[in-house]
Amino acid sequence: MRDAIDRAAAPDISIVIVSYNTRIMTLECIRSVLAQTTAVLYEVIVIDNASTDGSPEAIRANFPQVELITSQENLGFACANNIAAMRARGRRFLLLNPDTLILNHAIDRLHEFADENPRLGIWGGRTVLSDGRLNPGSCWGDATLWSIFCWATGLIYLKRSSAVFNPEGYGSWKRDSIRAVDIVTGCFLLIDRELWEQLDGFDPEFFMYGEEADLCRRARKLGACPTITPAATIIHYGQSSEPDHAEQRIKVLAGRITLLRHHHSAATIVAGRTLYMMLPLLRLLAYGTAGLVSGRNDFREKAQGWRYVWQHRQRWVNGWSNIGVRSARGNPRNTVSNETGAAKHPPGGALSRSRHQG
């Protein structure tokens, strides 16, 4: 962080990073923030979700100017961001994944875009892969019964009709123009502090996945207009803290079913939940058959992955439930503590806060 920053002044942006066993990437992410953010007053807050790879120690040693919050358990993405936001002093919050790199002053440019379009309330940028190819995950459309059907049946993989069969992905749009979207993904999401507080932050029922979709839906009801600008571009690697694809699929399904329960009618919930339950079975059937016919091990491995998802359906079939959270968290606790005392914060975990002045 720039030494020239007046720490007595409230920053323009509070940059919040949730870290979980991504030590090397988190360090590189912070390094890119410090190097590329030169035009705005900002602070960096990292909350570590009980990493076992030495992340807190490395952050503390390399970046003493960063505010570090450490948890004794994995709180998940939504709850961790809510806790970090309580510490934040900025007039806007930037939610930033640790598996990202800031390019070409992206935070400065996103902040400038927000200043030019203050009524939007939520702003996002363009994400690319490490080789410069588009990573379309910077934004999504709302899930509908049609989009869930297309995902469950595999129609989303029909490239020629992607706009029809993959409406959540916005077709062939390369994220190279300013556009209002339904959902700005939480890997690079800027939001007004006042709007965040009106929404009471993320819904803590979402352990991870789906929380930003829920946030953006609720924000749009209040008049916000989530919008993407290509002027702010970052690298987003993706899947860094969840290398096990089957486990990630379980969490994604739990998040999507929770989202379904929160925002749709009873009939749509029943139909959507049925489609989500069909998804692993259809994938298991397709990959299992392909593996049997072709003898290819990669198809057999994919079938095994989807079999695992189906066998563990009790963790996701009702959305985020106690059993799903316990499995994702590993060692549930209920108490949140800091240097000044202790307080309950569901779902909670033991926390310690260390602020390092640079």
The DSSP H or E segment spanning 277 is: helix 266-294
pLDDT category at 333 given cuts 50, 70, 90 is very low
Lowest mean pLDDT, pick from 190-204, 215-229, 320-334: 320-334
Q: What angle do CA 151, 157, 160 make, to 5 degrees?
A: 125
The more confidently predicted of residues 157 and 31 is 31
pLDDT of 48 > 50? The answer is yes
pLDDT of 21 > 70? The answer is yes
Q: What are phi and psi of 282, to 5 degrees?
A: -65, -40
Specify the pTM: 0.88
Torsion-angle region of residue 220: left (phi > 0), alpha (psi -120 to 50) or beta? Answer: alpha
pLDDT category at 8 given cuts 50, 70, 90 is low
pLDDT for residue 242: 57
- Residue 142 in contact with residue 168, Cβ under 8 Å? yes
pLDDT tens digit sequence for 107-118: 999 999 999 999
**Would you list the DSSP string of 288-351?**
HHHHHHH--HHHHHHHHHHHHHHHTGGGTBTBS-HHHHHHHHSS---EEEETTEEEE-SS---E
Cβ partners under 8 Å of residue 164, min gap 6: none
3-class DSSP assignment, residue 139: strand
Question: What is the C-alpha radius of gyration for the chain, rounded to an integer number of angstroms?
Answer: 20
pLDDT of 336 > 50? The answer is no
Q: Kind of pairing, strands 341-344 and 183-184?
A: unpaired
pLDDT category at 352 given cuts 50, 70, 90 is very low
The more confidently predicted of residues 342 and 92 is 92
Beta bridge partners of 338: 341
Question: How far is residue 312 from each of residues 114, 143, 254, measured CA to CA in Å?
Answer: 43, 23, 11
pLDDT for residue 252: 96
Among 164, 247, 254, residue whose Cα is nearest residue 209: 254
CA 323 to chain centre: 21
The more confidently predicted of residues 240 and 135 is 135
pLDDT category at 243 given cuts 50, 70, 90 is low
- The mean pLDDT of 336-343, rounded to a whole number, is 29
3-class DSSP assignment, residue 34: helix
- The mean pLDDT of 180-191, rounded to a whole number, is 97
Distance CA 108, CA 17 (A): 17
- Residue 64 in contact with residue 10, Cβ under 8 Å? no
- The correct answer on CATH 3.90.550.10 for the domain covering 13-144+169-243+333-355 is yes
Name the maximum alpha-carbon separation found in the chain.
Answer: 68
Percent of the chain with pLDDT over 70: 88
Cβ partners under 8 Å of residue 236, min gap 6: 97, 99, 100, 127, 128, 129, 135, 137, 138, 187, 188
pLDDT tens digit sequence for 76-116: 999 999 999 999 999 999 999 999 999 999 999 999 999 99
pLDDT of 332 > 90? The answer is no
The full set of domain ranges for the chain reads 13-144+169-243+333-355, 245-320
